[in-house]
Amino acid sequence: MKTQLIASALILAAGSAFAASHAMAPAVEASDQSVANGVVSADMITAGENGWMVVHRTDAEMKPGPVVGYAPLRKGENVDVAAILTEAVAPGDMLMLMVHGETGGMKTGRFEYTLGAKEDGPIKIDGNLVMTVITAQ
């Protein structure tokens, strides 16, 4: 009986550790949406640190293009993150919603990234960008 209790406790502990390690894995969840109101939203973003949701233009090649919006993120889960678009986006345009960090810049709390710069740059996990692509409706 005691052995079963210890085994059960170890299994629960391992499961909790696994869930905790994956609960904070950076991720972006968003769907195709209308941007007629000048805003693009992500349903949920999990960030490993304070940073930014950055909206890049993209296309079928899936390379990040110019930044057309951004919104601040807190470390942890961020729900219904909305970025005001800084230029017109037409229905059918592809947008890449990407997690960027808050590092390397001159001022905390000010978005300082420009395409290819290191300030407030993209977060990568195992060499992969943390992002999703949506199509404007």
Single-letter amino acid, residue 90? A
The pLDDT tens digits for 122-131 are 999 999 999 9
Q: What is the pLDDT of residue 4?
A: 52
What's the whole-number average pLDDT of the chain?
Answer: 88
Contact criterion met (CB below 8 Å) for 52 and 120? yes
Compute the average pLDDT of residues 5-27. Answer: 54
User: Does 48 have pLDDT greater than 80?
Assistant: yes
pTM: 0.82
User: Does 14 have pLDDT greater than 80?
Assistant: no
Q: What is the pLDDT of residue 1?
A: 54
Domains of the chain: 26-135 (2.60.40)
27 contact partners, CB below 8 Å, separation of at least 6: 44, 45, 46, 130
The pLDDT tens digits for 79-99 are 999 999 999 999 999 999 999
